[in-house]
């Protein structure tokens, strides 16, 4: 490798990780990188204080939906678990809650009652872009939901209705949505509000 190539590679390796946390602070930069915390996660700063970034939750996840954050969230979030629902939602097996050594993820019993106690976020439906509301039957979000008939119900043309009081925020509906951009999105519990259209 020539000296110029070495210097370019070296500077990229040094400067890029330093620039990512700054880019994440730009208004709107994180809008498309919304993520969920695993089941049982403590709220906000309590989670960040308790999580040591050991990665045991990601290692034990049978669905491989838990990933560890890089420097894009700053040093305080480095190595903390995240779930990108659009890529792969949580199947609510609760394995991650059983191995957390610090209590950052509270233990949840893998039962139907335990599943209903999960509060990862809430699903929001944008009817304007939902295929079923355009007269084309779809219903994949309903079929993906672990609580069909409770968190999501369907009507004519399989039009979904989200019942947020029963939604646990697993993200399986968002993962399943075939519309681009997705017509149904899960907003994390700590920022639960209607999403802005992408």
pLDDT in tens, the chain (198 residues): 565 565 566 656 665 555 554 444 433 334 445 899 999 999 989 999 999 999 999 999 999 999 999 988 888 899 999 999 999 999 999 999 999 999 999 999 999 999 999 999 999 999 999 999 998 999 999 999 999 999 999 999 899 999 999 999 999 999 999 999 999 999 998 885 555 544
Whether residue 41 is contained in a domain is answered as: yes
If one counts the domains in the chain, the total is 1
Residues 20, 25, 30, 31, Cα dihedral to 10°: -160
Burial of 9 (0-12, 13-18, 19+ CB in 10 A): exposed
Q: Residue 67 and residue 61: Cα distance in Å, rounded? A: 10
Nearest-CA neighbor of 140 among 169, 172, 181?
Answer: 172
Does residue 126 fall inside a structural domain? yes
Find the CATH number of the domain harbouring 52: 3.30.70.20
- Give the whole-angstrom CA distance, residue 153 versus residue 162: 7
7 part of a folded domain: no
Domain span including residue 45: 34-191
Q: What is the dihedral of CA 136, 140, 146, 149, to 10 degrees?
A: 20
Q: Determine the Cα–Cα distance for residues 76 and 25; give it in Å rounded to an integer.
A: 14
Give the gyration radius of the chain's Cα atoms.
19
């Amino acid at each position: 490798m020539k000296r110029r190539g070495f210097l370019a590679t070296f500077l990229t390796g040094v400067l890029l990780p330093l620039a990512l946390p700054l880019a994440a602070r730009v208004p709107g930069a994180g809008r498309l990188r919304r993520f969920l915390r695993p089941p049982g996660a403590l709220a906000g700063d309590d989670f960040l204080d308790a999580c040591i970034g050991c990665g045991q939750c990601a290692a034990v996840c049978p669905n491989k939906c838990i990933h560890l954050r890089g420097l894009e969230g700053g040093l305080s979030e480095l190595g903390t678990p995240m779930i990108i629902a659009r890529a792969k939602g949580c199947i609510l097996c609760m394995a991650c809650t059983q191995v957390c050594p610090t209590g950052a993820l509270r233990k949840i019993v893998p039962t139907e009652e335990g599943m209903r106690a999960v509060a990862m976020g809430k699903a929001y439906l944008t009817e304007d872009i939902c295929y079923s509301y355009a007269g084309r039957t779809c219903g994949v979000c309903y079929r993906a939901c672990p609580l069909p008939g409770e968190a999501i119900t369907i009507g004519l043309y399989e039009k979904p209705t989200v019942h947020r009081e029963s939604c646990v925020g697993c993200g399986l509906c968002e993962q399943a949505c075939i519309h681009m951009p997705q017509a149904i999105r899960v907003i994390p519990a700590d920022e639960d509000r209607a999403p802005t259209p992408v």
